């Protein structure tokens, strides 16, 4: 027998109130219900350290599931920065809502402890990525858009330049639009507080993906900002590689499957094939962390089955 209608209405009101409280702690929003990403710490771009080329002098801290950390990881891979910067991967602690080290790092068990030791105010969100100077024992930079620029300037035996002079203006334009409409846009869809806020974010997301698809289709074989791979490609890839696996089913970014944007699909497959990129992609960790940790969006904690990553980086089924 179905429960009485009055009981259903009461339960829905109570659940919505609880959901709003939980979402307030997870993802702040403005008065119109639009998600607003909180400000972080260590966001000022520092000068290139004098000991940048010294092996083992710096550490890049990343998390497998975080797309913002993934972009820094990608630059680290593509420019072969493992010669001078060590990589440390932190694990999520969903019960405590924080990142933790698998082994103590600089005397810290959690990333939050390292933030405090580096001078962050108590209560500051401890996020990845983070570039750490071992000589100074502190975080130098944790803002990903700035960090990928710094890592692109880092001394390396690699000849890869992800911000070539002739493509900088085009690249910067793409990066600004992608940051708002796509990278942050999927979160503005998932963390929207009402239908209007979701609609605004979702429409901007797919409009920009359509624009990127058209640009790539008009210049076959090129990258977003020109003939050479660049930082615009780096910032787009972490979001697109998670689209079908996480953002479509969990954040409601499901208007159009990527195979219906064939130039973008082919671009994603090409980027995935670059040296080191596949090793930075862990689809099982992404799904486990998103579906298992974002309780307000997925209270059951059940991790649903998804398409194998290999099927998302092959030739699309149709054009």
| pLDDT values of the chain reduced to their tens digit, one per residue, 319 residues | 666 777 677 777 766 666 576 677 778 899 999 999 988 899 999 999 999 999 999 999 999 999 999 999 999 999 999 999 999 999 999 887 899 999 999 999 999 999 999 999 998 999 999 999 999 999 999 999 999 999 999 999 999 999 999 999 999 999 999 999 999 999 999 999 999 999 999 999 999 999 999 999 999 999 999 999 999 999 999 999 999 999 999 999 999 999 999 999 999 999 999 999 999 999 999 999 999 888 888 888 899 999 999 999 987 665 5
Residue 243 and residue 264 in one domain: yes
Residue 172 and residue 304 in one domain: yes
Residue 257 forms part of a structural domain = yes
- If one counts the domains in the chain, the total is 2
Residue 64 forms part of a structural domain = yes
Cα dist from 40 to 124, 125, 126, 129, 130, whole Å: 7, 7, 8, 11, 11
The CATH code of the domain that includes 187 is 1.20.1050.10
Please tell me the predicted confidence (pLDDT) of residue 97. Answer: 81
The sheet carrying 58-63 orders its strands as 108-110, 98-105, 85-93, 58-63, 130-133, 138-141
Residue 75 and residue 171 in one domain: no
Number of neighbours of residue 109 by Cβ within 10 angstroms:
14
Residue 300 and residue 171 in one domain: yes
Residue 265 forms part of a structural domain = yes
Please tell me the predicted confidence (pLDDT) of residue 10. Answer: 74
């Amino acid at each position: 027998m179905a429960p009485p209608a009055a009981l259903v209405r009461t339960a829905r009101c109570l659940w919505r109130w609880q959901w709003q409280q939980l979402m307030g702690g997870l993802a702040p929003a403005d008065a119109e219900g639009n998600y607003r990403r909180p400000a972080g710490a260590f966001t000022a771009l520092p000068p290139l350290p004098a000991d940048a080329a010294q092996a083992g002098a710096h550490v890049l801290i990343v998390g497998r599931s975080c797309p913002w950390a993934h972009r820094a990881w990608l630059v680290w891979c593509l420019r072969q920065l493992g010669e001078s910067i060590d990589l440390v991967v932190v694990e999520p602690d969903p019960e405590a809502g924080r990142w933790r080290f698998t082994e103590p790092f600089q005397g810290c068990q959690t990333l939050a402890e390292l933030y405090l030791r580096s001078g962050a105010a108590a209560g500051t969100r401890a996020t990845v990525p983070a570039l750490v100077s071992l000589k100074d024992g502190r975080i130098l930079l944790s803002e990903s858009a700035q960090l990928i620029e710094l890592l692109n300037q880092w001394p390396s035996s690699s000849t890869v330049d992800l911000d070539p002079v002739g493509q900088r203006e085009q690249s910067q334009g793409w990066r600004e639009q992608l940051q708002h409409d796509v990278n942050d846009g999927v979160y503005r869809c998932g963390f929207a507080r009402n239908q209007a806020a979701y609609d605004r974010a979702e429409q901007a997301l797919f409009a920009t993906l359509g624009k990127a698809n058209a640009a790539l289709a008009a210049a076959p074989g090129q990258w977003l900002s020109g003939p050479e791979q660049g930082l615009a490609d780096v910032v787009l890839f972490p979001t697109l590689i998670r689209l079908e696996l996480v953002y479509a089913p969990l954040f409601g970014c499901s208007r159009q499957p990527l195979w219906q944007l064939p130039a973008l699909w082919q671009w994603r497959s090409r980027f995935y094939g670059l040296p080191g990129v596949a090793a930075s992609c862990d689809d099982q960790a992404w799904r486990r962390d998103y579906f298992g940790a974002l309780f307000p969006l997925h209270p059951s904690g059940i991790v649903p089955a998804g398409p194998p990553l290999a099927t998302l980086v092959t030739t699309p089924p149709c054009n």
